[in-house]
Amino acid sequence: MGSEGDEGAIGAQQELFLLFSVLSWAMELYFDLRQHKKLCQKKLPQELQGIVTEEEFLKANEYSRDKISFEMMSSGVNITATIFFYLMGGLLWMWEVSLILIKPLGFSEQNEIWQSVSFCIVLYAKSIIESAPLDLYQTFVIEERHGFNKQTLSLWFMDQVKTFFLVVVLLFPAVAGGIHIIIWGGKDFWFYIWSFCLVLVLVFQTIYPQVIQPLFNTFTPLKDGSLKSAIEDLARAHNFPLKKLFVVDGSTRSSHSNAYFYGFGNNKRVVLFDTLNLSLLGKEEKNGQDETGKSKESKSSGCKIEEIVAILGHELGHWAKAHIYKQLFVAELHLLIFFYMFGYMLHNQGPCLLCAATDLTASPQEMYAAFGFQSKRPVIIGLILFSNMGFLLLLLLLLSCSRLHSVNPVEHFVQFFQQFVTRMFEFEADRFAVEQGHGKELAAALVKISTENKSNLDPDPLWSAYNNSHPSLVERLRAMTAHASVLEARQKKSN
C-alpha cells in the first residue's frame, strides 16, 4: 500500500492533467469565439471592394460561420468525453481489453509490442465511433448546404473501409516497429526512433501520391492542348524537372479546388484538380447535374489558362525556394526534440516539472499510477500521457527552471511557429510568381478560388495565426500589391 503522500501526488497529477486539457481547449475556444465574432461582420473590407461582391463576401462568411460553430460544438463534446474517459479509467480499461484480444493468439502481457498494436486497434475503433457521426454531419449537412459536397453515402463508407485497411497495413506495423526500437534502444532510443520515423516519412512521401491517393481518386494525364503546352513552357523556363501532368477527379467528392506538385529530385509531377476548370480539366456538366448525378448550382467557368499557369508559378516558387525541404527539416527537428524529452521522462533522469510546480515528490511512475498503471509502464501509454498535457504547463514552464516532463503546452507555441513558417513560405511563393510576371493572373486566380470555395476572406488575426497554414485573401493581395510596387520602383530607379 502506498502512503497518503504518494496517493496525494498521484491524485494531483491526474487533476493537473485534466485541468491542463481543459485550459488547452479553453484557449482554442477563445480563438474560435474571436473568429465567430469576426465572421458576423457585414462590411466588405476595403482591400476587397471592387474585387469581391458583397454577396460573395457574406456567403463566404456564412459558410465559415457554420463550420466554426460546428467545430466549437464538436470540441466541447470531445473535451467532455475526454474528461469522463480519463476519470473512469479509460486508458487502463482499453489496455486490459487489448490484452484480452491477443490472449487467444497465444500472447500474454509480457508481449508489450503485440499488446500495444492491439491497443492501437481498440483506440482506432474508439476514434471511429466518436468521429463518424461528426464527419457525416459536416459532409452531408454543412458541406451539402453550401453546395460543396459531391459524395454519396456509399462513397463515404468505402473511403472509411479503405482508410481502415491502410491503417492496419501501414500504421500498425510502424507502431510495432517503433515500440520495439524504444524498448531495445535503452536510454539512447530517442535517436533510433527518430531515425526510424525519418525513414517512414520519406517512404510515405514517396508512396502516398503513387500508391495510396489513387485508391481514393482517379488520376489521368492532362490532355494535349494549350493548357498543357503553357505549363510545359513554364517548367522549361525555370528548369523545373517536370515529368508528368495529371488531373485528379476532385469533383467526385467536393467542388473545392487546388493544385500541387510532388516528387523528390528530378522526378516532379504536377496535379491539377478538375474543379479548377471543369470544361478544361473535368467532365462537362449536363442538364444542371454533375457527373455523379447531383444537382449543381451554376458557377463561373473556373480559372483561365493563364490563371492556372500563375497558380503553378506560385507552386514553382515553393520548389525554387526549397520550401519542402525546409519544412521537413523543421518537422524532423521538432520530432527529434520530442523523442529526446520523452526519453528523459521515460527513464526518470530528473525531477518532474509537475513536482516542482506543486511541491510534490511525484515521479514518472506516479504519472502512470495516476491513470491506473501501478506496476506496468507501457511505452505507448507514456507517449499518450507525455504528449497530451495541456496549456497550464506552459505557464509553469515559464515560471520554473525545472526539467520538462510534458510537452503539449509547448506544442501550442510550436503550432504558432509552424503556421508562421508555412505562411511565410506562402508569401515568398507569391512574391516569386509576381517576380516572374504572373502577379495579376495569380491575384485573379486567388480571388476566383477563394470566392468559389467560399474561403475565409478576412479572418481574425489571432485565430488565423493559430489555425491557418495559408494567409487570407486580403493578406495575400495586400502583400502582392506591395511587392509589385517595390519591383516597379526598383525598375524605375535602374532606368
CA dist., res. 227 & res. 95, Å (int): 56
Annotated binding site for Zn(2+): 314, 318, 426
Q: Which of 47, 315, 441, 458 is catalytic?
A: 315
Q: Which residues have CB under 8 Å from 87's CB, separation 6+?
A: 18
Contacts 24+ apart (CB under 8 A), 160-168: 160/128, 160/132, 162/215, 162/216, 164/124, 164/128, 166/212, 166/215, 167/124
Question: Which residue in 112, 143, 290, 430 is the catalytic one?
Answer: 430
Answer yes or no: 285 catalytic: no
Q: Contact, 21 vs 79, CB < 8 A? A: yes
Contact between 367 and 20 (Cβ < 8 Å):
no
DSSP string, 273-328: EGGG-HHHHSPPPBTTB-TTS-B---------HHHHHHHHHHHHHHHHTTHHHHHH
Quote the distance between the C-alpha of residue 2 and its chain's center: 43
Q: Is 430 assigned a catalytic role?
A: yes
| CB-based burial label for 20 (10 Å; 0-12, 13-18, 19+) | buried
Helix (H, G, I), strand (E, B) or coil at 266: coil
Rg (CA), the chain: 25
**450 closest CA partner among 32, 142, 53:** 53
Neighbours of 487 (CB within 10 A): 15
Of all helices (H) and strands (E), which one includes residue 248? strand 242-248
Question: Residue 194, Cα to own-chain centre: how many angstroms?
Answer: 20
Residues contributing to the annotated binding site = 314, 318, 426
**Bridge partners, residue 248, by sequence:** 219, 273
Residue 438 and residue 237: Cα distance in Å, rounded?
A: 13
For the chain, the residue count is 495
Give the three-state DSSP class for 437: coil
Residue with cell 466518436: 130
The C-alpha cell at 207 is 508512396
Instruction: Enter the C-alpha cell of residue 446.
Output: 486567388
> Active-site residue numbers?
315, 430
